[in-house]
Amino acid sequence: MEVAIFKDSKLASQAAANLIARTMIERSGKLVLGLATGSTPLDTYSELVRLHRNGKLSFKSVRAFNLDEYVGLSGNSPHSYKTFMQTHLFSKVDIDPRHCHIPDGKSLDPRGECLRYEESIRSAGGIDLQLLGLGQDGHLGFNEPSSSLSSRTRLKTLTESTRRTNAVHFGSHDEVPHHVLTMGLGTIMEARRCVLLAFGEKKADAVARMVEGPLGASHPASILQMHQNCTVILDETSASQLKRQDYYREVFSGKPEWQRWDLPLD
């Protein structure tokens, strides 16, 4: 696991966007991108939009798969993750709408929808780069604590604590759905590269348990310790509880230029 610590979330988000942009360019734009929602990736998406508007980046050949969606919300709902992605990224870049995949939270056959979702990821050739956020309780996507570490896309029940945390995006706590469709931890682990973003003091405990804690289903994000190519991008506050901070900083600052994924394109 590579841990990169930046002074603040703005710089960290820019670095994350540079990593994604460099990977897109290396692959001549033909990338299968796994995407995340939540407030954490917002600045990264803005930076990708800026690079696109400056003519540095095209999403024409990108295929995107989002991690999760609330059950019961139609794509048009202001609270759906589909609307979130449209607002913050898809409507602002040249991605083909047919290449934007998000589980259908309104499906009358959630089980079939999840199988179909797994199949579309497979037929796209698998995810090249999966962007991830981190729940305060260690969830990835919506894989709450006790999720099977080898789980696939499926219906899950949210914990009360996640519903309370996510209530800020809804009018009230009561409006937060109880159920979601989410890629499983096994699905996420098959991505060729995982890039996790976590910012702010509220994430410090979850980050420490993910990077340095024991691996286990009680802290789902700890499964990333088993991933062969996982980069964790932090700001100083979210990194504050890591015991080996000095080591991570030494490793990152000692990288030769050709290995630096964080440098701007221009």
Q: Which is nearer to ligand GLP, 213 or 249 (CB)?
A: 213
Q: Which is nearer to ligand GLP, 21 or 41 (CB)?
A: 41
Q: Which helix (H) or strand (E) holds 248?
A: helix 245-253
Instruction: Establish if 141 lies at the interface with ligand GLP (CB under 6 A).
Output: yes
Task: Provide the residue type at 199 as one letter.
Answer: F
Alpha-carbon distance 132 to 220, whole Å?
Answer: 13
Sequence-ordered strand ranges (E) for the chain: 2-6, 32-35, 63-66, 68-70, 100-101, 129-132, 154-157, 179-182, 193-198, 230-235
Binding mask 237-266 for ligand GLP (x = CB under 6 A): ------------------------------
Alpha-carbon distance 55 to 49, whole Å?
Answer: 10
Whole-Å CA distances, 174 to 81, 82, 167, 169: 18, 21, 8, 12
Instruction: Establish if 87 lies at the interface with ligand GLP (CB under 6 A).
Output: no
Exactly one of 34, 105, 133, 184 binds ligand GLP (CB under 6 A); that residue is 133
Instruction: Establish if 142 lies at the interface with ligand GLP (CB under 6 A).
Output: yes
174 is catalytic: no
Alpha-carbon distance 85 to 95, whole Å?
Answer: 12
Q: Which is nearer to ligand GLP, 18 or 166 (CB)?
A: 166
Q: Which is nearer to ligand GLP, 18 or 182 (CB)?
A: 182
Instruction: Establish if 134 lies at the interface with ligand GLP (CB under 6 A).
Output: yes
- Give the residue from 38, 50, 69 showing the smallest Cα distance to 131: 38
Binding mask 23-42 for ligand GLP (x = CB under 6 A): -------------xxxxx--
Alpha-carbon distance 119 to 246, whole Å?
Answer: 42
* 66 DSSP β-pair partners: 35
Instruction: Establish if 89 lies at the interface with ligand GLP (CB under 6 A).
Output: no
Instruction: Establish if 65 lies at the interface with ligand GLP (CB under 6 A).
Output: no
* DSSP assignment of 217-244: TTBGGGGGGG-SSEEEEEETTTTTT-TT
What burial class does residue 250 get, using C-beta atoms within 10 Å of its C-beta: 0-12 exposed, 13-18 middle, 19+ buried? exposed
Q: How far is the CB of 154 from ligand GLP (least distance, A)?
A: 14
Instruction: Establish if 190 lies at the interface with ligand GLP (CB under 6 A).
Output: no
173 is catalytic: no
Q: How far is the CB of 141 from ligand GLP (least distance, A)?
A: 5
The active-site residue out of 43, 47, 68, 262 is: 68
Instruction: Establish if 138 lies at the interface with ligand GLP (CB under 6 A).
Output: no
* Sheet strand arrangement including 179-182: 68-70, 179-182, 154-157
- Residues serving a catalytic function are 68, 137, 139, 144
Task: Give the binding site for ligand GLP (CB under 6 A).
Answer: 36-40, 67-68, 133-135, 141-142, 162, 166
